Amino acid sequence: MTNFVNTTIFVKINLIMDINEKLELNKLIRGYKGDNSFVLSLQKQLKTSKYLQKVTVGNKEVKVLSDKQYESAKTALA
């Protein structure tokens, strides 16, 4: 049981992305020109959703997706 708990904690810690990685993925998602429907839906969310979390970076507010969405986007863009 202890190994399972340690593995779960390790996975959760690794899912937390830093803001710089999120900003780079935002650039990739916004510039995406392919036909992957998941990435296109993320692109639309970043452009139009008023419900996304906003993070202040410097003097600019940036919309960010969830960590799970970014992880899935990394897989789709690879």
* Per-residue model confidence as pLDDT tens digits over 31-56: 999 999 999 999 999 999 999 999 88
* Nearest residue to 53 (alpha-carbon basis) of 71, 67, 65: 65
Q: Is the pLDDT of residue 5 over 60?
A: no
Q: Tell me the pTM.
A: 0.74
Residue with tokens 């992880």, as numbered in its chain: 71
Question: How many other C-beta atoms lie within 10 A of the C-beta of residue 16?
Answer: 7
Would you call 63 exposed, middle or buried from its count of C-beta atoms within 10 A (0-12, 13-18, 19+)? middle
Contact by Cβ (8 Å): 28, 39? no
